[in-house]
């Protein structure tokens, strides 16, 4: 069973003052996870690094943008938690912001990635939870797949984490899952399809796009009544990350 940390209203929680009418039914969500978020080989000057982030924010113009919280060197005005690796920019004030704790251990092996960042909004009278995540990767559990096994230990743990996210979302009218799922193959997302969710990446509509090397690690997944009007993998931003940013236009 997942647990949550309480909504923190403190210096670490700085909400933008921009407001939008609640009756709006089309939102843009975006995410970019993993990567070191530094200057790489030092060839990128700090001011150029910030400029690149500003361009990404301006070009996407997302209502909610989840990203890895590994740097203080880019423009940011939004929500963050101390000692947590995901932050969010948002132009809409949420009902609540919290961290959802997921299973982190399997067969005695622990992963450092076992939590999701959850924002809850009221959209047209419905409670909708938006999740930003960075879940267990293959490199976190360095155990080879046993002969005859369908999944590695990391894949098995991800399946547990996926199911816990789906269970957590049942308390709301709808959910949007974004970020670095670290899936190695499209079949890992089947658990979402089996529970009625709509995939953006690894879907019949938008196909399968590798967002990290040759794997579909990242995705935007929505409840069946939420319509994905547009989905893009952004490959033109040099942000010193090893994942491509994603963006989706959603209709509620």
Share of the chain above pLDDT 90, in %: 63
87, 78 contact by CB (below 8 A): yes
Q: What is the CATH number of domain 3-251?
A: 3.60.10.10
pLDDT in tens, 178-214: 999 999 999 999 999 999 999 999 999 999 999 988 9
Strand 64-68 to 26-32 pairing = parallel
31-46 in b/e form (b: 16+ CB < 10 A) is: bbbbbebeeeeeebee
Range among 2-6, 8-12, 79-83, 227-231 rated most confident = 227-231
Asked whether residue 251 carries a pLDDT value surpassing 70, the answer given is: yes
Higher-scoring residue by pLDDT: 33, 3: 33
- Dump pLDDT digits (tens) for 123-143: 999 999 999 999 998 888 877
Q: How confident is the model at residue 73 (pLDDT cuts 50, 70, 90)?
A: low
CA 230-68-242 angle, 5° bins: 75
Pairing of strands 26-32, 227-233: unpaired
Average pLDDT, the chain: 85
Quick count: other Cβ atoms within 10 Å of Cβ 224? 10
Q: What is the pLDDT of residues 34-59, one digit of tens each?
A: 655 444 455 667 777 778 788 888 89
What is the reported pLDDT for 242?
79
Q: What backbone torsions phi and psi does residue 130 show, to the nearest 5 degrees? A: -110, 125
- CA distances in angstroms from 196 to 128, 141, 170, 222, listed in the order given: 16, 30, 12, 9
99: how many CB neighbours lie within 10 A of its CB? 19
Residue 67 sits at the vertex; the CA angle it makes with 61 and 70, to the nearest 5 degrees, is 135
- Among 171, 174, 78, 197, CA closest to 123: 174
| 96-124 pLDDT, tens digit each | 999 999 999 999 999 999 999 999 999 99
**Averaged over 80-95, what is the pLDDT?**
92
| Residue ranges covered by each domain of the chain | 3-251
Give first-to-last CA distance, the chain, whole Å: 28
């Amino acid at each position: 069973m997942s647990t949550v940390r309480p909504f923190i209203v403190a210096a670490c929680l700085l909400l933008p003052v921009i407001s939008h009418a609640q009756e709006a039914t089309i939102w843009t969500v975006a995410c970019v996870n993993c990567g070191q978020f530094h200057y790489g080989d030092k060839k990128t000057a700090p001011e150029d690094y910030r400029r690149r982030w500003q361009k990404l924010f301006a070009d996407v113009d997302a209502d909610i943008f989840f990203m890895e919280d590994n740097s203080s060197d880019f423009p940011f005005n939004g929500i963050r938690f101390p000692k947590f690796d995901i932050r969010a920019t948002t132009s809409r004030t949420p009902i609540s912001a919290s961290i959802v704790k997921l299973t982190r251990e399997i067969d005695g092996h622990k992963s450092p990635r076992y939590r999701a960042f959850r924002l809850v909004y009221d959209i047209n009278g419905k409670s909708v939870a938006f999740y930003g995540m960075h879940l267990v990767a293959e490199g976190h559990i360095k155990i080879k797949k046993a002969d005859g096994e369908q999944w590695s230990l990391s894949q098995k743990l991800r399946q547990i984490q996926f199911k816990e996210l789906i269970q957590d979302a049942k308390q709301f009218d709808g959910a949007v899952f974004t970020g670095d799922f670290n899936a190695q193959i499209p079949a890992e997302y089947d658990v979402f399809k089996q529970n009625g969710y709509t995939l953006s990446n690894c879907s019949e509509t938008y196909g399968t796009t590798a967002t990290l090397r040759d794997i579909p690690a990242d995705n935007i997944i929505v409840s069946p009544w939420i319509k994905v009007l547009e989905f893009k993998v952004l490959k033109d931003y040099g942000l010193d990350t090893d994942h491509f940013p994603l963006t989706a236009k959603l209709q509620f």
